[in-house]
């Protein structure tokens, strides 16, 4: 006999595994483009380091760390007296992050596979927790925020960065939005899922979630920042295709239209290319709360 709790746990585990598999498929591309992505998202790193008030000597947890950006920047800033625990649901992401840490010969980092909604750490043990471009993908973001608050020392700060509205993201309007137009032409409806990248596109929703999770002084604001892609429109598109969901969208477009769709993406990106970089701009949401 299967009890309701067991059935529920099995459903949760199955949905986590689906999410995990989705990210596993992007590990290779994320590793491949890691170095360029560090430059591309530097403004987001600056924003989260500032919002978390990171200082030398701190003990920091980075949640949903991906291939190690901004975890490496955190580790360099906290220095050898500090420590950064790098976590992600997907252990394959952490293998790539570990490679990056070795490249910088960092000795103040450790890695642990961890679901943000159930962090495997004691209460009150970190000075700060960071989560860049992660929270919008968690099915239960307030639960993840509660976990962040639980593991923080009293007075410790959680800081988060999310993408702003897709219409204010030049990387999206030049790539994924172009593909979506093809899909609309095919009359196939696409609704944003709750766990997609736009969930916290407005500052109010992030501040509200921080408050609901019990943080003091929940705060969030929108900012417009530059995210230059340090390369050609072609490799920017390849990064979005293989690491940010472009391939899935392209796959939904009728086969005979795909080459034309990609041509349109490259034309849209080329408008912002000056021969050296694709000068993209985006709105982000930066938020923080105190434990």
Ligand X SMILES: C[S@@+](CC[C@H](N)C(=O)[O-])C[C@H]1O[C@@H](n2cnc3c(N)ncnc32)[C@H](O)[C@@H]1O
Determine which residue in the list 49, 86, 116, 236 makes contact with ligand X, applying CB under 6 A: 116
Residue 7 contacts by C-beta under 8 Å, 6 or more apart in sequence?
none
> Interface with ligand X includes 164 (CB under 6 A)?
no
* Distance of closest approach, residue 43 Cβ to ligand X, in angstroms: 12
- Dihedral angle sign, alpha carbons of residues 269, 273, 277, 281: negative
> Interface with ligand X includes 286 (CB under 6 A)?
no
* Distance of closest approach, residue 142 Cβ to ligand X, in angstroms: 13
User: Which residue lies nearest ligand X, judged by its C-beta?
Assistant: 66
Instruction: Tell which residue, 243, 233, 231, has the closest CA to residue 32.
Output: 243
Determine which residue in the list 31, 82, 134, 141 makes contact with ligand X, applying CB under 6 A: 134
> Interface with ligand X includes 64 (CB under 6 A)?
yes
Stretch that binds ligand X, among 115-123, 165-173, 211-219, 280-288 (CB under 6 A): 115-123
> Interface with ligand X includes 117 (CB under 6 A)?
yes
> Interface with ligand X includes 166 (CB under 6 A)?
no
Q: How many CB atoms lie within 10 A of CB 171?
A: 23
The token duo for 219 is: 């705060």
DSSP E strand boundaries for 134-211: 152-163
How many residues are listed for the chain in this entry?
A: 291
* Distance of closest approach, residue 255 Cβ to ligand X, in angstroms: 28
Q: Print the binding letters for residues 69-108 with ligand X: x by CB under 6 A, - otherwise.
A: x------------------xxx--x---------------
Q: Which of the residues 137 through 156 are near ligand X (CB under 6 A)? A: 137-138
Stretch that binds ligand X, among 59-67, 168-176, 199-207, 275-283 (CB under 6 A): 59-67
Report DSSP letters for 64-125, one per residue: S-TTTTTHHHHHHHH-TTSEEEEEES-HHHHHHHHHHHHHTT--SEEEEE-BTTB--S-TT-
Q: Which residue has the tokens 């450790």?
A: 110
* Distance of closest approach, residue 28 Cβ to ligand X, in angstroms: 13
Kindly give the interhelix angle for 255-270 and 233-243, rounded to the nearest 10 degrees: 130
Three-state DSSP state, 242: helix
Rank residues 26 and 157 by Cβ distance to ligand X and give the closer one.
26
Residues lying near ligand X in the complex (CB under 6 A): 19, 23, 64-66, 69, 88-90, 93, 115-117, 132-134, 137-138
């Amino acid at each position: 006999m299967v009890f309701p709790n067991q059935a529920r746990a099995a459903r949760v585990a199955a949905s986590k595994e689906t999410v995990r598999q989705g990210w596993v498929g992007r590990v290779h591309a994320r590793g491949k483009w890691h170095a360029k992505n560090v430059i591309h998202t530097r403004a987001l790193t600056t924003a989260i380091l500032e919002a978390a008030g990171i200082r030398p000597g701190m003990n920091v947890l980075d949640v949903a760390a991906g291939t190690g950006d901004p975890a490496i920047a955190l580790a360099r800033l906290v220095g050898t007296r500090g420590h950064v625990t790098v976590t992600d649901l997907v252990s394959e992401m952490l293998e790539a992050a570990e490679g990056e840490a070795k490249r910088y010969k960092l000795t103040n980092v450790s890695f642990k596979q961890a679901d943000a909604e159930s962090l495997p750490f004691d209460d009150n043990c970190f000075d700060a927790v960071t989560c860049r471009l992660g929270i919008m993908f968690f099915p239960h973001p307030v639960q993840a925020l509660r976990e962040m608050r639980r593991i923080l020392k009293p007075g410790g700060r959680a800081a988060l960065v999310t993408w702003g509205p897709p219409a204010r993201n030049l990387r999206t309007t030049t790539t994924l939005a172009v593909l979506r137009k093809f899909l609309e032409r095919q009359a196939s409806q696409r609704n944003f899922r709750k766990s997609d990248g736009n969930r916290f596109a407005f500052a109010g929703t992030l501040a509200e979630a921080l408050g609901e999770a019990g943080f003091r002084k929940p705060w969030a604001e929108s900012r417009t920042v530059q995210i230059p892609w340090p390369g050609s429109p072609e490799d920017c598109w390849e990064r979005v295709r293989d690491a940010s969901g472009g391939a899935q969208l392209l796959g939904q477009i009728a086969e005979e239209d795909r080459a034309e769709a990609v041509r349109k993406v490259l034309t849209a990106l080329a408008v912002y290319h000056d021969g050296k970089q694709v000068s993209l701009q985006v709105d982000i949401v930066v938020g923080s709360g105190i434990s």
